[in-house]
Amino acid sequence: MTSTPRQALARQAQGLGNRPALLIVDMINGFTDPACPLGSEAESVIDANKVLMAAFHERSHPVYLTSVVYDRDDQASVFRARVPALNLLTRGSHWCDIDSRLPVHASDTLVEKTHASAFHGTGLADLLTQQGIDSLVVTGLTTSGCVRASAVDGLQHNFKVVIVEEATGDRDLAAHKANLYDLNAKYVDVLPLEETLQLL
């Protein structure tokens, strides 16, 4: 028995609200340096994030950056057993540091996490709400993993979410493209960099 393809669900672009924040997911050395088992070449992704950071800083919009950091063996033990390379991301490791090519300001906020989503166990949702944030531009690494989890959780916390195509990346190009397609189809707006800058 063959199935007939169904039409895509109708959806409305949400764009950004009046008080957007930039959420840069895991642009740390462990993911931007191909020498790390978790990493891949990310020069173009870094360049796109530099442009976005400059735009947010110029407008005094908040910027949040996440890093994966483990202090104890019991943190995210199932996740780490599934992906043993994550064990490299222990506190004090060079791999946990934000890539130095990003223009981080003193006003930017670092969010440490142990799982894929920037929201899981971090208090990020409360912090955003307290600051009056109503929408997020989500970028970073990797599209199929932590970016996807953070974007979907952003929606589930009732924030409008835009993912910037050029400012995300993945070790697997096919996974990158498939996840951007799926995220745009169901959850968030996936937009080019220039269109996102115009929304600001």
Which sequence spans correspond to the domains of the chain?
Answer: 20-199
Maximum Cα interatomic distance, the chain, rounded to a whole number of Å = 60
Answer CATH for 20-199 from 3.40.50.850, 1.10.1030.10, 2.102.10.10, 3.40.50.450: 3.40.50.850
Buried b (16+ CB within 10 A) or exposed e, 85-94: ebebbbeebe
User: What residues are paired with 79 via a beta bridge?
Assistant: none
Q: Supply the pLDDT for residue 5.
A: 58
CA–CA separation, 161 vs 131, rounded Å?
16
Q: Residue 123 region, left (φ>0) first, then alpha (ψ -120 to 50), else beta?
A: left
Q: Supply the pLDDT for residue 131.
A: 96
Q: pLDDT tens digits, residue range 168-196?
A: 999 999 999 999 999 999 999 999 999 99
List per-block mean pLDDT (blocks of 10 residues) for the chain, which spans 200 residues.
62 89 98 96 97 98 98 96 96 97 97 98 97 98 97 98 97 95 96 96
Q: Supply the pLDDT for residue 13.
A: 82
User: What residues are paired with 189 via a beta bridge?
Assistant: 162
Task: Name the E strands within 52-156.
Answer: 63-68, 109-113, 135-141
Q: Supply the pLDDT for residue 12.
A: 82
Helix, strand, coil distribution of the chain in percent, nearest 5: 40, 20, 40
Q: Supply the pLDDT for residue 14.
A: 86
